[in-house]
Amino acid sequence: MKTVYDFTVRDRAGKEVSLSEYRGKVLLIVNTATGCGFTPHYEPLEEMYKNLRDRGLEILDFPCNQFANQAPGTDDEIHEFCTLKFGTEFPQFAKIDVNGDGADPLYAFLASEKPFEGFGKGLKSAALKKFSDMNNKTFGDKAYIRWNFTKFLVDREGRVAARFEPTADMKDVRKAVEAAL
């Protein structure tokens, strides 16, 4: 059975990193953007990381510019923004594509394990669905991720346990992470 440990990704310097280095940890894998309405999610993510990393949490940050060009900078510019504005300390990897023919294989796997089930209810969810549908129609059946700040919770065995859309309450995300720890 395939797990996230079977994948290799690139760090900000372009070096290949095997996710097996995180074996035994609880992972929260997030595609991010610096110019998105959900960018303030960095704050509760960093708080969660500071409070829970000693218990075995790792947050893996993958910037992506496929959603309305909301992460246009270089890997270094994105990293500088995140560390200066939000004080992020969790690992940030090279910018990737999460949709289409060039989608990173990790993201195709994550989405196949926990497919999109909707943004939930409410005005914010309805508005995001409209933008998401417009943005992702070019990716067809390879529109794995619907927007920035989609989060995948991975258990200590490398299995995808949950998917949280950007509209999910960060308190609920934290509860799920704590339960997995």
> Which residues are catalytically annotated?
36
Cβ 164 vs Cβ 32: under 8 Å: no
CA distance 30 to 36: 14
Q: What are 151's strand-pairing partners?
A: 30, 164
What one-character-per-residue DSSP string does 122-173 give?
Answer: SHHHHHHHHHHHHHHGGGGGG----STT-EEEE-TTS-EEEEE-TTS-HHHH
Q: For residue 63, give every residue at least 6 positions away whose Cβ sits within 8 Å of its Cβ, in sequence order, or none.
A: 31, 32, 33, 34, 71, 75, 78, 92, 93, 94, 95, 96
Count Cβ atoms below 10 Å from residue 11 Cβ, excluding itself. 13
CA distance 28 to 70: 21
